[in-house]
């Protein structure tokens, strides 16, 4: 099928749920990256005091993670939230936004699929949300 000049100027119209997901993902990614960069800048400039001094890092990042956690006295699971005022830990907030923004994008699709009676995709979206939430909960990783 040859595209009309109009079709070439504008991409083929995509489903509403795809466009909504794209819009929300765009914002989630931007916010995550901004938080990540600002926290990193605060960390390396010492604007926020780090939990682990920068000078100690070369000794610690060579260790397996379980030894690193003991040496650096780092919490696991969501324990980092209690230390989020520290420059190095604040970086995890940006990372958490990047890793978690898909949850909100997927939840926003449920009403659209539901209104159309597309039960299979309502179930698929909720199943994917459940998987990411389960991973984030720290329960499987023994984080709590």
Residues at the site binding another protein, with contacts judged by CB under 8 A: 1-3, 7-8, 11-12, 14-15, 17-19, 21-23, 25-26, 28-29, 32-33, 36-37, 39-40, 43-44, 54-55, 57-59, 61-65, 68-69, 74-78, 88, 91-92, 94-96, 98-102, 120-121, 124-125, 127-128, 131-132, 134-136, 138, 140-141, 143
- Count the residues in the chain: 144
Beta carbons of 124 and 109 less than 8 angstroms apart: no
Smallest gap from residue 137 Cβ to another protein (A): 8
Nearer residue to another protein within complex by CB, 85 or 135: 135
Smallest gap from residue 80 Cβ to another protein (A): 8
Smallest gap from residue 5 Cβ to another protein (A): 9
Cβ neighbours for 121, distance < 8 A, ≥ 6 positions apart:
17, 109, 113
Q: Which of 72, 74, 108 is nearest to 92 (CA)?
A: 74
Phi, psi angle pair for 25, to nearest 5°? -65, -40
DSSP labels, 92-134: HHHHHHHHHHHHHHHHHHHHHHHHTT-HHHHHHHHHHHHHHHH
Smallest gap from residue 72 Cβ to another protein (A): 9
């Amino acid at each position: 099928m040859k595209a009309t000049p109009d079709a070439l100027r504008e991409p083929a119209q995509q489903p509403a749920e795809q466009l909504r997901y794209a819009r929300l993902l765009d914002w989630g990614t931007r916010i995550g990256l901004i938080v990540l960069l600002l926290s990193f800048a605060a960390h390396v400039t010492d604007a926020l005091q780090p939990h682990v001094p920068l000078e100690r890092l070369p000794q610690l990042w060579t260790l397996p993670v379980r030894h690193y956690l003991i040496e650096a006295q780092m919490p696991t699971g969501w324990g980092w939230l209690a230390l989020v005022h520290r420059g190095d830990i604040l970086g995890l907030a940006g990372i958490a936004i990047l890793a978690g923004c898909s949850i909100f994008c997927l939840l926003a699709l449920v009403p659209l699929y539901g209104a159309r009676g597309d039960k299979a995709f309502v179930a698929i979206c909720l199943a994917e949300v459940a998987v990411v939430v389960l991973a984030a909960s720290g329960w499987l990783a023994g984080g709590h």
